[in-house]
Amino acid sequence: MTTLQDVNYNADGLVPAIAQDAQTGSVLMLAWMNAEALEATLRTRRGTYWSRSRQQLWTKGETSGNVQHVASVSLDCDGDTVLLAVAQTGPACHTGTATCFTGREIG
């Protein structure tokens, strides 16, 4: 069984976290987590991340109302990426699009 001790954080104490729609499998967004954010996500079952620009925790939807209800949390085989399966309320992207990748295909 995978535990929190299996997470391999980078030199800044962060690990990338991919939020994926639990029903459709769509990749919604990528954000960063420190140990505190990951523990908060597991405890509250709401997507909680580390803001590199503001240097503080943030919970998805705390200002927008576009909450992520976390169904499961997995760690990849190297322990250096977290995958959250979520039920997303409203758009996942702060720009108002369904995902952070919507309409941003590189041509």
Consult the annotation and say whether 12 binds a ligand. Answer: no
The predicted-structure confidence for 73-106, as pLDDT tens digits, reads as follows: 999 999 999 999 999 999 999 999 999 999 999 9
Sketch the domain layout of the chain as residue ranges.
14-88
Whether residue 6 is annotated as binding a ligand: the answer is: no
pLDDT given for residue 2 in this prediction: 87
Using an 8 Å Cβ cutoff, are 14 and 34 in contact? yes
Residue 1: its pLDDT value, please?
Answer: 81
Q: Is there a binding annotation on residue 21?
A: no
Q: Which CATH architecture has domain 14-88?
A: Roll (3.10)
**Angle in degrees, CA 98, 53, 42, rounded to 5:** 65
Query: Does the annotation flag 77 for ligand binding?
Result: yes
What is the residue-averaged pLDDT of the chain? 96
Buried (b) or exposed (e) across 45-78, using 16+ Cβ within 10 A?
bbbbbbeeeeeeeebbbeeeebbbebeebebeee
Residue 30 phi, psi (nearest 5) = -125, 135
Task: Assign 69 to helix, strand or coil.
Answer: strand
Q: Provide the whole-model pTM.
A: 0.94
